[in-house]
Structure 1
Amino acid sequence: MARTSNSDAERLTKQVVFVLQPSLFDAFERRCRDRYKSVSEVLRELMAAYGQREE
């Protein structure tokens, strides 16, 4: 069964858990900070770009 998007029911409380090596997370977090962005902000941007990408 496919989920349909209902903008009235959509919430900003979804959680995604990534399991990474600590060194990979540290490098990613450092790059985010260097660009004055939070890790969450960058991950949201990456997910949005991936969702819009045409293959």
Structure 2
Amino acid sequence: MTENEISAIVVDVCYRIHVKLGPGLFESVYEAILYHELTKRGLHVGRQKAERLF
């Protein structure tokens, strides 16, 4: 899969989430939905990792 194909999928998914849910939810909610939708489309993605201070 090329970078252009991947970016097209990401932009499409983000747009659909925005149109369906709109603004106002917690970032963690959008992150979880984005993760779900991207993996559903066959992309291997990771979630945010907690930062270790020590």
Q: Please, what TM-score do these two structures have when normalized by structure 2?
A: 0.29
- Give the number of the structure whose alpha-carbon radius of gyration is greater: 1
Higher relative contact order (CA 8 A, sep 6+): 2
Q: Please, what TM-score do these two structures have when normalized by structure 1?
A: 0.29
